[in-house]
Amino acid sequence: MQATRIIAIRHGETPWNASARLQGHQDIPLNELGLWQAEQAGRALVDEPVAQIYSSDLQRAYQTAEAVARATGAPLAADPGLRERSFGIYEGRTFAELEAELPEVAQRWRQRDPEFTPPGGESLRMLRERVRATVERLAARHAGELIVLTAHGGVLDTLYRLATGQELQAPRTFALGNAAINRLLWSPQGLGLVGWADTSHLENTARDEIC
């Protein structure tokens, strides 16, 4: 079976990115900078032979995907399996607020405890299994082709770790910038890393993920 080439893109900036708020499943749109970043990502891929674009159904990712679809002419479909990790009752809060009000929660978060599950949300382990299953399902449809996935910081973090074998609790040493272009290969044996965090199209405007 031929490998599937994947370009994975984190959505453009939102007002909550700019204020360092946990978005999770909250449906926050792109801000003006985020819309520009999405357009730039689309232009950077205009000559790529994209067979299909799959996006999280949350509008910040879908708006980003729409810009890529306009540039490439590729069909676009939403898939909730590409959603950000659910942060449950902590969505809308900042880390500064959590550290001040719930220091034990903030510590488990900072330590990347794989089993820590925000009330009403998902653990890192739950997120990994959701992302793994979603990518396998989507990539298996496109052997020998190139697909684009537009998603979120937590999803991109998971993809990098799956591709490199890094443990969930390992400190993050790689960037997750808004609208950065990241390249992977998928085969039935799993994911492999090709290139990561290309922001050359963004003029240094890509804000890194906070968690």
Is 60 exceeded by the pLDDT of residue 211? Answer: no
> Has residue 207 been placed in a domain?
no
Query: What's the whole-number mean pLDDT along residues 182-202?
Result: 97
Q: What is the pLDDT of residues 94-153, one digit of tens each?
A: 989 999 999 999 999 999 999 999 999 999 999 999 999 999 999 999 999 999 999 999
- Over pLDDT 90: what percentage of the chain? 94
Residue positions annotated with a catalytic role: 11, 84
Query: What's the whole-number mean pLDDT along residues 158-167?
Result: 98
Q: Residue 203: what pLDDT?
A: 82
Is 60 exceeded by the pLDDT of residue 159? Answer: yes
- Give the Å distances, CA to CA, from 106 to 99, 114, 119: 5, 14, 14
> Has residue 211 been placed in a domain?
no
Q: Residue 166: what pLDDT?
A: 97
What residue numbers does the annotated binding site for substrate cover? 10-17, 60
The domain in which residue 11 lies consists of 4-198
CA distance 32 to 53: 23
Q: Residue 58: what pLDDT?
A: 98
Task: Give the CATH number, domain containing residue 108.
Answer: 3.40.50.1240
> Has residue 162 been placed in a domain?
yes
Is 60 exceeded by the pLDDT of residue 21? Answer: yes
Query: What's the whole-number mean pLDDT along residues 23-52?
Result: 98
Of 144 and 205, the structure prediction assigns the larger pLDDT to 144
> Has residue 210 been placed in a domain?
no
Cβ pair 74, 53 in contact under 8 A: yes
Is 70 exceeded by the pLDDT of residue 69? Answer: yes
By CB atoms closer than 10 A (0-12, 13-18, 19+), residue 188 is: exposed
Please report how the helices 153-164 and 124-139 are oriented relative to each other, as an axis angle in degrees rounded to 10.
80
* Residue 88 φ/ψ region, left for φ over 0, alpha for ψ in the -120 to 50 degree band, beta for the rest: left
> Has residue 209 been placed in a domain?
no
What residue numbers does the annotated binding site cover? 10-17, 60
Q: What is the 3-state secondary structure (H, E, C) of the chain?
A: CCCEEEEEEECCCCHHHHCCECCCCCCCCCCHHHHHHHHHHHHHCCCCCEEEEEECCCHHHHHHHHHHHHHHCCCEEECHHHCCCCCHHHCCCEHHHHHHHCHHHHHHHHCCCCCCCCCCCCCHHHHHHHHHHHHHHHHHHHCCCEEEEEECHHHHHHHHHHHHCCCCCCCCCCCCCCCCEEEEEEECCEEEEEEEEECCCCCCCCCCCCC
Q: Residue 210: what pLDDT?
A: 60
Domain count of the fold of the chain: 1
Mean pLDDT score of the chain:
95
> Has residue 205 been placed in a domain?
no
Q: Residue 205: what pLDDT?
A: 73
> Has residue 101 been placed in a domain?
yes
Tokens of 11: 């959505």
> Has residue 86 been placed in a domain?
yes
Query: What's the whole-number mean pLDDT along residues 88-95?
Result: 95
What's this model's pTM, rounded to 2 decimal places?
0.95
Q: Residue 1: what pLDDT?
A: 76
